[in-house]
Structure 1
Amino acid sequence: MTTAVTPKGERRRHALVEAASELLLEGGFDAVRHRSVATRARLPLASTTYYFESLDELIACAVEFTGAEELTAMRDRVHRISHRRRGPEATVDLMLDLLVSAETDESAREHLIARYERFVASARHPELRAVQRQLRAQIDELLAEVIRRCGRITSPEQVRRLAGVVDGAVVGALSEADPDPRGTAREALLEIVDVVAPQVDR
């Protein structure tokens, strides 16, 4: 058994990944450096290169860790939604609770920024693409379940279209002086939800 896979090694590796995920949220990819991660994890500087082949590998693990936490929270939210027919406004609000958040404080905004920074970074960093594709596929599945629980029907292609509308609206809104990503996405979804995800005929 190598040191890296002993219980102590696993704890240290996890501490480094968790530290990197916190730095990603606070300062984006530029904040994740060997020294800053080791300092946050309260481990020697050499530990980052001992447990990870490269900084890119550490960042990919941090993205996967952060995404897994987000997915856990999203699943809990979906499981609390009852099965019943809902109109367009109620349906869109539940979709946005999942994709954007029901909160509107600074912390929620920072989480949104961090999420979309990961999207953009995956275009530049091949090691992030597989992780991001997997996360996106699982989010799409949860969105489809929200739609189903609202008494509506849609296809995987249309689910991706709905998520894409939200992505575009949120990114555009975050760049504004007085951003309201949820409100912007809500307006966009209300225009198409009955077409893309119509109610199931009784």
Structure 2
Amino acid sequence: MSETVEPTQGNEPAQGKGARRRAELVEAAATLILERGPAEVTHRRVAEQARCSLSATTYYFRDLAELVGAGAELISDLWAEQAEWVAERAETRAAQGPVPAAEAADLLCEALLPPAAGVRGHYEQLAAAGRSPEVAAAYRAGRRRLDAAITRVLAAAGSSCPPELALAVVDGAAVAALSEGRDPRENTARLLGLVL
């Protein structure tokens, strides 16, 4: 994630340290977006989360919008990487024959949902994301990779379901389950099985 520069004579070059500090600030902003929502991200909170000086946030980023955008890009990248990893597993499994719908549904849940404890927070922050132009733009840009990974899982299952529909089913099923006190992953896998 961060640039790697080889140390010289046991001392770390300033460039490597700066890249690492910037990455720490981006990770702190991403954590705050996920935990509190984009509207709660401030220079002070990012500095506290990253355990660095307040001035570092303005040194590495021209303004708060750029910092929030970088945090959102990291979230989007990590989500896409998770989905791509699951897509690789689905393709490996498909080499033995088409992936059954129930198994594909489980794989899509794994690709698109966070661990059970984080599902509510995931949807709360997604609902707030559109209020921040920087976060919305980062998520919109990352959607291409996510859709491509979902398409790969669907192809491994021999399904013609469009990726947009699969994601809509995941989101709708998870939110419905949360609002009704049911298990989001179980409800999502059940409904995905109907459309795959």
Identify the match of residue 136 of structure 2 among 129, 136, 160.
129
- The 1-side partners of 2:39 and 2:141 are apart by 24
1:165-189 CA distance string (max 9 Å, x none):
111111232334x341112212322
State the identity %: 34
Aligned match of 2:28: 19
Question: Do the aligned partners of residues 191 and 38 (structure 1) sit closer, same or farther apart at CA in structure 2, a change above 3 Å counting?
Answer: same
Structure 1 alignment gaps of length 5 or more: 194-202
Say if 1:119 and 1:132, in contact at 8 Å, map to a contact too: no
Aligned match of 1:188: 191
Q: How does 1:27-66 map to 2 (within 5 A)?
A: 27-66=36-75
Offset at residue 93 of structure 1 (A): 1.9
Say if 2:36 and 2:125, in contact at 8 Å, map to a contact too: no
Question: 2:191 corresponds to which letter in structure 1?
Answer: A
- CA RMSD of the aligned region, Å? 2.4
TM-score using structure 2 length = 0.78
Question: Do the aligned partners of residues 114 and 6 (structure 1) sit closer, same or farther apart at CA in structure 2, a change above 3 Å counting?
Answer: farther
TM-score using structure 1 length = 0.76
Aligned match of 1:67: 76
Question: Do the aligned partners of residues 44 and 86 (structure 1) sit closer, same or farther apart at CA in structure 2, a change above 3 Å counting?
Answer: closer
Aligned match of 1:88: 101
Question: Do the aligned partners of residues 123 and 23 (structure 1) sit closer, same or farther apart at CA in structure 2, a change above 3 Å counting?
Answer: closer
Question: Do the aligned partners of residues 73 and 87 (structure 1) sit closer, same or farther apart at CA in structure 2, a change above 3 Å counting?
Answer: closer
Secondary structure of the residue aligned to 1:17 is: helix
Structure 2 alignment gaps of length 5 or more: 1-13
Aligned match of 2:160: 154
